[in-house]
Amino acid sequence: MFSLFATSPVSPFSSLDSNETMALDTWTAYFLASILIALSPGSGAVLAMSHGLSFGMRRTRATIAGLQLGLVVILLVAGAGVGSLLVASELAFSIVKVLGALYLIYIGWSQWRSSNGIAADGEAGVADAIGLSTRRRFLTGLLTNVTNPKGILFMVAVLPQFISPSRPLWPQLLVMALTTVAVDTVVMHGYAFAASRLQLLFRNARAIKLQNRVFGGMLMAVGAGLFFVKRSHAAAH
């Protein structure tokens, strides 16, 4: 067995008893991997920054909550083996890929065309007036991650490296889901907070248009990039 699953006798996580959830060294490796994954720019980071700038930190929490639920869904799907079946099917994978790409292009184009401005954290503002209610922001975050084929590919490829076959599957998935959500929540809040600090620079019409086109263009570019995502040969066989 790969040394990642080796256990240490001094840790309560590391017992060879199959009732234990995860080895401490395995969890530590997964925790570090989760940090690197969360920090890498992607559609979730772009969305968090876009909503942080447009709606402020407080309102972007709904977007981030949606992103986290989406992460949990694809983690559980991949961990349960459904993700492997999805990756193995050319048709199913292509459907998810196209839906994910079109959705990101749609929300990017909507922002590109928008002439609405920024709502401060303490205001309802024009941002809510364009229809992005708390529910809409939550669903946007959820769908952004759930329809991301890169996320599914990553989970299918990476999760098996951290799952011990000698231990119960679902407790391990629960620990990894909690770890992923905790790390990604902190990182996405960091992206949103950094963007929200720029709100004062985007108050006039020209700056608002620039902001909408920059983030709209970034979302459309990420969406277009999904069309070129290919199945992993290792995962497909």
Residue 48 lies in a domain: no
pTM listed for this prediction: 0.73
Residue 15 lies in a domain: no
Residues 127, 134 contacting (CB under 8 angstroms): no
Residue 97 lies in a domain: yes
Q: CA-to-CA distance for 47 and 16, rounded, in angstroms? A: 42
Residue 190 lies in a domain: yes
Supply the range of the domain harboring residue 128: 56-236
Residue 215 lies in a domain: yes
Got the DSSP string for 40-54? Answer: S--HHHHHHHHHHHH
Q: What is the 3-state composition of the chain as percent helix, strand, coil, each rounded to the nearest 5?
A: 75, 0, 25
Residue 46 lies in a domain: no
Residue 230 lies in a domain: yes
Q: How many distinct structural domains can be found in the chain?
A: 1
Residue 89 lies in a domain: yes
pLDDT in tens, the chain (237 residues): 333 334 444 343 444 444 567 888 889 999 998 898 888 878 899 999 989 988 889 999 999 999 999 999 998 888 777 666 666 777 877 887 888 888 889 888 987 887 655 555 444 444 444 447 899 999 999 999 998 877 877 787 778 778 887 888 888 889 999 999 999 999 999 999 998 888 777 666 677 777 778 888 888 988 898 788 776 544 444
